Amino acid sequence: MCAIWRRMTVARIPLSHFARAQIGGWLLIVAAFVGAMTVIGGITRLTESGLSMAEWRPLIGWIPPHNDIEWARVFALYQATPEYRQINAGMSLAEFQSIFWWEYIHRVWGRLIGIVYAAPLAYFWLKGWIVGPLRGRLLLLLALGGLQGVIGWWMVKSGLVNRPDVSHYRLAVHLGMAFLIAGLLVWTALDLIARPMKRAAHGLRRHGQWALAAVSLVVVLGAFVAGTNAGLIYNEFPYMGGRLIPADLMALSPWWHNPLENLTTIQFQHRWAAMATAVVIFWLWFEAWDRAPERGQRIAVSWFAATALAQIALGVATLIAAVWIPLAALHQAMALLLFLGAVWTVWSFQGAGEAQTP
């Protein structure tokens, strides 16, 4: 995706400094809204609120229940779901309302992102500022945002049929799309408002790309942990049940079910993939501090390494605290900051000047 995005180059489009600053600043604001959305979504998941709205009304979903009749209607829809029948049977209307609001905020925030993106896009387009390859980028982001809404409902539907929880596979797709959108927003903003740097050596660029890929994998594995509640077992570190390699790591048969369905394996692979990724990042930081041709690149990779260190600390604390919601929400927010640090680092290494010698 990064290679495709670079080919849609916007570095040399004929725009004034003022126009670039306006568009770039807007894209960073949208990225911040997307970041807030991931945190709200995480809290919605952690409070078991995600299945409280059992219908999807894209056009009139802004309006919450506003009288007793409407509350009775939406509560009746929830009472027909597997989550109510198997877990929350006997829940009162007041208890239902306490979980309803997080999912409502999550969905409304998604619609708000659509407005924050589409309205300025139309304004800048009418001003003649959306030119050249920038058009393709921004229209693709608009399409991805719409697709994300569809993916969100596709995810929710997986918990409304037979199982009282959403599919962790669909959750991973939903979270991955949010991170992708945020990354493309930030990359485009950097293209517009940041000073182009000299291209780093091929080996350093490749190392940065591997680090970005590793962070992306850990994010997906984290979604598996969240979607299966695997963080609620083995709340110790570095051991799991008093062992570095837990006894039930490969308890399922055939073996390939374990990394996908075994809660022990799902937590094990997330924690150790995160540690391996941290090694890759710190190695990159050490390498870049000597070999990166520009100060801005060293700043980017230093931020990347700092967020990796903070994320490790938050991950371990979240695990030991048995997924205490405030810590878990911070862990999810830091995951996005870490991912964006990877995007910033890779962007800075690509550069626009002459390639450095390997």
Closest CA to 165 of 223, 86, 83, 258: 83
207 lies in the same domain as 352: yes
232 lies in the same domain as 293: yes
Domain that holds residue 315: 197-358
- Global confidence as pTM: 0.92
297 lies in the same domain as 273: yes
211 lies in the same domain as 127: no
Q: Where among 176, 194, 212 does a domain terminate?
A: 194
Which residues are paired to 199 by β-bridges? 355
Residue 48: phi and psi, rounded to 5, are: 55, 40
Q: Where among 194, 223, 238 does a domain terminate?
A: 194
pLDDT range class, residue 11, cuts 50, 70, 90: low
151 lies in the same domain as 205: no
What CA–CA distance (Å, rounded) separates 330 from 311?
9
Q: Where among 161, 194, 227 does a domain terminate?
A: 194
260 lies in the same domain as 340: yes
17 lies in the same domain as 146: yes
Angle (CA) 270-274-278 rounded to 5° is 175
Closest CA to 211 of 145, 152, 282, 263: 282
For residue 6, give the 3-state DSSP assignment. helix
171 lies in the same domain as 31: yes
125 lies in the same domain as 243: no
Q: What local confidence, expressed as pLDDT, does residue 279 receive?
A: 97
Q: How far is CA 69 from the centre of its chain?
A: 37
Provide the domain count of the chain: 2
The four Cα atoms 294, 300, 302, 308 give a dihedral, to 10 degrees, of: -150
172 lies in the same domain as 242: no
2 lies in the same domain as 149: yes
pLDDT in tens, 229-249: 999 999 999 999 999 999 999
85 lies in the same domain as 230: no
pLDDT range class, residue 197, cuts 50, 70, 90: confident
